[in-house]
Amino acid sequence: MKFVGVDIGGMSVKVGVVTDKGEILFKKSAICHPERQDSEIAAEIASLINVVIEESGVQRSDLAGIGIGCPGSVYDKKGVVRYSCNLNLRNTPLAAWIAERVGIGNVRLSNDANCAALGETLFGAGKGAMNSVMITLGTGVGTGIVVDGKLLTGNKSAGAEGGHIQIDVGGRTCGCGKKGHFEAYASATALIAQTKEACAKYPDSLLAKLAASEGVDGKLPFHAARAGCPVAQRLVKRYIKYVGMGLVSFANIFYPEVIIIGGGISNEGDAIIKPLQRYVSRNVYGAEYNPKIKVVAATLRNDAGIVGAAALCM
Amino acid sequence: MKFVGVDIGGMSVKVGVVTDKGEILFKKSAICHPERQDSEIAAEIASLINVVIEESGVQRSDLAGIGIGCPGSVYDKKGVVRYSCNLNLRNTPLAAWIAERVGIGNVRLSNDANCAALGETLFGAGKGAMNSVMITLGTGVGTGIVVDGKLLTGNKSAGAEGGHIQIDVGGRTCGCGKKGHFEAYASATALIAQTKEACAKYPDSLLAKLAASEGVDGKLPFHAARAGCPVAQRLVKRYIKYVGMGLVSFANIFYPEVIIIGGGISNEGDAIIKPLQRYVSRNVYGAEYNPKIKVVAATLRNDAGIVGAAALCM
């Protein structure tokens, strides 16, 4: 069987036809008009799905379902988008509308980050795993959790907000306003803040000099650490420890086969993956009796959303 | 249909016949002989099950299955007890052995704390809920997690070790040897340690005086706080904040309908439940868009194990 995967973004919608092995046979994207009425947005998406099915050459009778990943708060079981910051969707029964307009009954909906986690788990960095935690280190910290091959989204899909677990009593203020959350230590935003603090404290360090000439982003401390700056090396080591603490919390709850690191920071590759692997292996509870939990970087990149959305129907 | 629930302890085995509404129709217990061979232990349990079925007057054809809760590391899906501190069970295929000896094919096995959480969720403090987190504040901190009416035990049943999530960077040393874990702040053992520290620091406080005359246990700080001791009141307030931080971490991952507090500390009733409810309601992520998460004390007490074990088969 084959499946349609839809990845809705604030700027574009991507639609692909996906095999049950997670291969994309054909895909196409279109500009999204986020300011339009929700019924118009649904009509545009349905129209793109119809075009993609047509142009892919796949028979409709070969399609087992349509999966949709959408940013924002999505009530998976009801197929409803509660709200989305970037799109004009409010309590929109998107799954039902797409089903009606495309003429395929089996339409599933989930949050876009959850879909990416499902895609990476089943067909990307976690290939073959049935249990995973994907941690996306970006502007915030996103978490997508797969248990027995299915997304865990919490009651009424309100859970999986793992960026907001406590890792420090009191501590740094999170984007959500509370103190000591994982996201306030482990996001790229948090790393940038930590880098700026280190530059202010050590103005003669290579880190501070590079910051002055290149500006500060999530790559800078890794770059300066590779260039031998001890301030940057300490900074990176401490940052990785913070990330590791969060990973171990998830590992102790879920004991997944694999933890997948996504987001911009994961581009640092072994510089972050290897020390995180060591931290998790050393600190997870019961490691001596249980299989090793692998820590890996995400691999599907921009296709994770389409593949993962399709996987909602598998 | 009816079910058999078996609650194995270090000292005794309890067996009951349970309805699909969680009522125990008949129950009986027997002394356990933990030093015996695992095959003998299984034979004893099977024999007690046969006696209970017989004496309950329930027809065998009315029994849909047998659920067993066992202390230690249990591999649920395989029906195997990997090891148990208190019983001579090592890689014991207990489910298969019981099935053979009782003549009922459908036998399920899980950890005893998980069974208690399942029982409390479906038929006790969480009655009607399908998603819950049970936190047992005792010598350690136990966690039992129910998602869509089923236990979440992690890959190879190695997860749900929620006492070992990080809540403080560095911080107090946990029973497992790592620093800053939830259990090191929220267990009854941790509360006793915090109480002793407060007594040493404030030797003239009512708390210290009561400690000297009565000894220190998990009830003492609550008792002294009720009697008006400001040192104890601050101590209890801080302890509840620690517990609350852990609850909010679980709430942000699972967004359960209910959080159930078990263990000796839960006997303090409203003195701990009401402030924990306030803490969770104020601090959970997305509370403004989502239903309230109820915080309640466990109610089934000693029957939770039998009822929850039976519920493994429901």
Q: Choose among A156, A252, A289: nearest Cβ to B255.
A: A156
Distance between A99 CA and the closest CA of chain B, angstroms: 26
Strand, coil or helix: what is B266?
helix
- Region A243-265 average pLDDT: 95
Residues of B in contact with A248 (CB under 8 A): 164-166
Asked if residues B81 and B72 have their Cβ atoms less than 8 Å apart, the reply is yes
Distance of CA A292 to CAs A120, A251, A278, A283, B45, Å?
19, 11, 11, 11, 34
Mean residue pLDDT of chain A comes to: 94
Query: Does A155 sit within 8 Å of B256, measured CB to CB?
Result: yes
Distance (Å, rounded) from C-alpha B35 to C-alpha A291? 29
pLDDT at B86 (0 to 100): 73
- pLDDT band for position A282 (50/70/90)? very high
Kindly tell me the sign of the dihedral angle through the C-alpha atoms of A272, A308, A150, B156.
Answer: negative
3 state DSSP class of B48: helix
The whole-number pLDDT of residue A198 equals 98
- Flag whether residue A183 sits within 8 Å of chain B, measured between CB atoms: no
CATH superfamily of A132-298: ATPase, nucleotide binding domain (3.30.420.40)
Is A73 within 8 Å of chain B by CB? Answer: yes
What predicted TM-score, i.e. pTM, was given to this entire model? 0.89
CATH 3.40.50.2000 fits A2-123+303-311, yes or no: no
pLDDT at B11: 82
Residues on chain B touching A156 (C-beta within 8 angstroms): 255, 290-291
Domain ranges in chain B are 2-123+303-311, 132-298
The pLDDT tens digits for A170-215 are 899 998 899 999 999 999 999 999 999 999 999 999 999 999 999 9
Q: What is the per-residue pLDDT across B207-251, written as a single tens digit (0 to 9) for each?
A: 999 999 999 999 999 999 999 999 999 999 999 999 999 999 999
**Best of B111, B146, B164, B166 to mutate (most A CBs within 10 Å, chain A):** B166
**pLDDT of the residue at A161:** 86
Residues in A closer than 8 angstroms to B246, CB to CB, are 166
| Domain B2-123+303-311 matches domain B132-298 at the CATH topology level | yes
Q: Which two tokens stand for residue A41?
A: 């947005």
d(CA B39, CA B97): 8
Q: Does B254 touch chain A (CB under 8 A)?
A: yes
Joined tokens for residue B296: 């309640």
User: What residue ranges of chain B have pLDDT lower than 50?
Assistant: none
How far is residue A118 from each of residues A67, A143, B43, B147, measured CA to CA in Å? 12, 11, 44, 18
Check residue B251 and report its DSSP letter.
Answer: H
A285 at B interface, C-beta within 8 A: yes
Which of B159, B171, B246 is facing A254, going by the closest CB pair? B159
Q: What is the DSSP string of chain A?
A: -EEEEEEE-SSEEEEEEEETTS-EEEEEEEE--TTS-HHHHHHHHHHHHHHHHHHHT--GGGEEEEEEEESSEEEGGGTEEEE-SSS--EEE-HHHHHHHHHT-S-EEEEEHHHHHHHHHHHHSTTTT-SSEEEEEESSSEEEEEEETTEEE--GGG----GGGSB-SSS-SBPTTS-BSBTHHHHSHHHHHHHHHHHHHH-TTSHHHHHHHHH---TTHHHHHHHTT-HHHHHHHHHHHHHHHHHHHHHHHHH--SEEEEESGGGGGTHHHHHHHHHHHHHHSTTTTTSPPPEEEE---GGGHHHHHHHHTT-
Contact residues for A298 (Cβ-Cβ < 8 A; gap 6+): A116, A120, A124, A125, A134, A136, A260, A261, A262, A263, A266, A304
- The HSE-up count of residue A120 (CA atoms within 13 Å, CB side) is 32
Q: In the predicted model, is pLDDT for residue A10 greater than 80?
A: no
Query: What are the pLDDT digits (tens) for B110-129?
Result: 999 899 999 999 999 999 89
Which of the residue ranges A17-31, A279-293, B254-268, B271-285 would you say has the lowest mean pLDDT? A279-293
The pLDDT tens digits for A133-179 are 999 998 889 899 999 888 998 888 888 888 999 999 989 999 889 99
Q: What is the pLDDT of residue B204?
A: 98
* Nearest-by-Cβ selection for B158 from A82, A176, A255: A255
- Confidence tier at A35 by pLDDT (50, 70, 90): confident
Q: Which has more confidence, A287 or B111?
A: B111
**What is the per-residue pLDDT for B78?**
95
